[in-house]
Structure 1
Amino acid sequence: MSFVVFAGPKSTDLAWETAKYLNAEQGKIEKRRFPDGEMYLKLDSQVKGKESVVVSSLREDGDILELLFLLDLLKDSGSTQVHAVIPYLAYQRQDKRFTPNEALTLKTLLTLIHEVSDSITVVNAHFLDAAGEYNFHNIPLKNLDATSLIVEYFKNKIRKPIVISPDKGAVATAKYAAELLNCSFDSLSKKRISGEEVVIKPKNLTVEGHDVIILDDIISTGGTLLTSAQIIRGWKPNSINVGCVHGLFMKGVEPFQGVVERIVATNTVVNPLAKVSVAPLIASSLK
């Protein structure tokens, strides 16, 4: 199978690392802006009779347009298959209408990508429960799970692990990570005492003397996770370790300093804590 791998504007290093795992050619495009700000793309690689892969995390609306233009260009240029690999998917928390008459933005986005590609692969999409193949409003999706890569990062750095889920949405991830580490897992229980006071504690286990691992799919501002870590600190753990797949860190990484011993993210999004690469995971899914 002959692949040509192209990089989106937010995923250059990840795309080229994926190409290396696939023993694939790095695709070249000429890209510039017209004086009025519109985008110009020109293909500088031969893709006819080959499979094309575009690795592109979507952080901004401009990233979406560039991805759509490039996917369509590759189809028009004779690629046998065009694969959209989107490590971080924009609008993934808008997978349903929370109030009447809202735009179902994620459906619109994926419909457009589906029209100009042969497959769509995402990594730890917030609206999907586990790794596997899904059908979202008649749009086929493959969801990859990077949890095992994060667990592997922590494996040789801690001695007495316990995995804690910061909320009910991350319980399945915590359970899976605990299975990989052969350790216990728990989730935080919130009990409202009054209008102002909420007590947070582990549901079943004690964390004293353990190396706590808190896992989540996305850290955006990090507020909820920081609150959880500060509370866990009072229970006398040996260490607090935080891992996430998508490290947005909208308020920077400084708030975590002095609160946790270790914090790590993958490189689905460029960030200063991206110490775990999803390139082998992506490459394996394409072979």
Structure 2
Amino acid sequence: MEDVMTADSAKQRMKIFALNSNRPLAEKIAREAGVTLGKATVKHFSDGEIQVNIDESIRGDEVYVIQSISEPVNDMLLELLIMVDALRRASASQINVVIPYYGYSRQDRKARSREPITAKLIADLLEMDKITRVVSIDLHAAQIQGFFDVPVDHLVAAPLLASYFTDHQITDNLVVVSPDHAGVSRARTMAELLGTPIAIIDNRNVESSESLDEIPTEIIGEVEGKTCIVVDDMIDTGTRITISATALKNAGATKVYGCATHAIFSKNAPEILQNSQLEKVVVTDSIRIDESKRFAKLVQMSVGPLVGNAIKMIHNNEPLEPLFRSSIKD
């Protein structure tokens, strides 16, 4: 009887807080985890200074903070760091940061002379803040997990994204396409889930990824007469996935879909994507998409159940392996 009471009281000590990056997603995560969002106030002063107040006791609690490092990137990062400091000073027993989109993840190595490795710097800042754990989704490069000396739970959205195509019977004569050589492993994962072959757009000119006028002509694999799914981890300006769709259409593909976990949608990306040859653009809500950035071809799926289930499993000391095989949806 005593063991049961101890287990029940331990479950009540889990608390989830949301900062400003994506409160709608945080609410879905908390609902799936079976708790209500904790009370906290985040203020931005006129000079840009950030103040965080935790409006309830968290002494001895296992705390999860939901915050994507998305636009405005630096503000969202500082909010997270300041919140962690506040939690630590308020005697939280564990401080788990849930970062659905890990900003600065593209700067994960020295590609040129005198470049920083900013993804590592962010990891160092979080560890200096004394976090307990990181939970993230589809990091730009898997090796970013190794930048931390605390546990990192790296979730994948591929089963969720794949479920869109199976649910809509988009499974016949299908091929999954990587927009370049760097994304082959990502395409292979999606192809294994859908049971399809893969193809690769042989895009060797990095500069062409920023220009709609330079369309790659070489494609490794058979795409003629096929329905293609171009898979990437993020869509920023929309240019790369748009020229990929054009290249596939030029090579004889019948239909092309775009698919990515993180919808950054900077500059005029929504307009570019809407006017592209893509049938649909399937993304998740790891980044909040403002109404001004929504467009007719956009399909958004929620990672709330995925992250909420992950938090429950972590809290109960259960393995996360089932989440890598299932497509958890609302």
What corresponds to 1:257 in structure 2?
A: 274
Deviation at 1:27, TM superposition (A): 1.0
What corresponds to 2:218 in structure 1?
A: 201
Paired residues for 1:43-58 under 5 Å: 43-58=54-69
What corresponds to 2:138 in structure 1?
A: 124
Q: Which moved more, 1:100-109 or 1:41-50?
A: 100-109
Q: Which moved more, 1:8-17 or 1:107-116?
A: 107-116
TM-score, normalised to structure 1, is 0.89
Q: Which moved more, 1:6-15 or 1:198-207?
A: 198-207
Aligned residues of 1:47 and 1:78 also touching (Cα < 8 A): yes
| Structure 1 position 4 matched with structure 2 position 15 | yes
1:257 is matched by which residue type in structure 2?
A: Q
Paired residues for 1:69-84 under 5 Å: 69-84=82-97
Alignment gaps of 5+ in structure 2: 1-10, 206-212, 314-330
In 2, Cα distance between equivalents of 1:206 and 1:171? 16
SS at match of 1:25: coil
| Structure 1 position 107 matched with structure 2 position 124 | no
2:187 is matched by which residue type in structure 1?
A: A
Deviation at 1:237, TM superposition (A): 2.8
Q: Which moved more, 1:196-205 or 1:99-108?
A: 196-205
Aligned residues of 2:215 and 2:247 also touching (Cα < 8 A): no
Deviation at 1:245, TM superposition (A): 0.6
What corresponds to 1:169 in structure 2?
A: 182
SS at match of 1:135: helix
In 2, Cα distance between equivalents of 1:37 and 1:126? 29
- More strand, by proportion: 1
Deviation at 1:227, TM superposition (A): 1.0
- More helix, by proportion: 2
Deviation at 1:127, TM superposition (A): 1.9
Deviation at 1:278, TM superposition (A): 1.2
In 2, Cα distance between equivalents of 1:78 and 1:191? 51
What corresponds to 1:215 in structure 2?
A: 231
Q: Percent identity?
A: 27
What corresponds to 2:286 in structure 1?
A: 268
| Structure 1 position 284 matched with structure 2 position 295 | no
| Structure 1 position 151 matched with structure 2 position 151 | no
SS at match of 2:87: helix
Relative to structure 1, is the Cα distance of residues 198 and 226 closer, same or farther in structure 2, using a 3 angstrom cutoff?
closer
| Structure 1 position 226 matched with structure 2 position 239 | no
Aligned residues of 2:22 and 2:287 also touching (Cα < 8 A): yes
In 1, Cα distance between equivalents of 2:177 and 2:45? 51
In 1, Cα distance between equivalents of 2:146 and 2:229? 32
In 2, Cα distance between equivalents of 1:146 and 1:284? 13
Deviation at 1:124, TM superposition (A): 0.8
Paired residues for 1:57-72 under 5 Å: 57-59=68-70, 60-72=73-85
In 1, Cα distance between equivalents of 2:257 and 2:115? 38
Match of 1:25 among 19, 36, 39: 36
SS at match of 2:202: strand
Aligned residues of 1:110 and 1:139 also touching (Cα < 8 A): no
TM-score, normalised to structure 2, is 0.78
Aligned residues of 1:267 and 1:274 also touching (Cα < 8 A): no
Deviation at 1:276, TM superposition (A): 1.1
Relative to structure 1, is the Cα distance of residues 202 and 97 closer, same or farther in structure 2, using a 3 angstrom cutoff?
closer
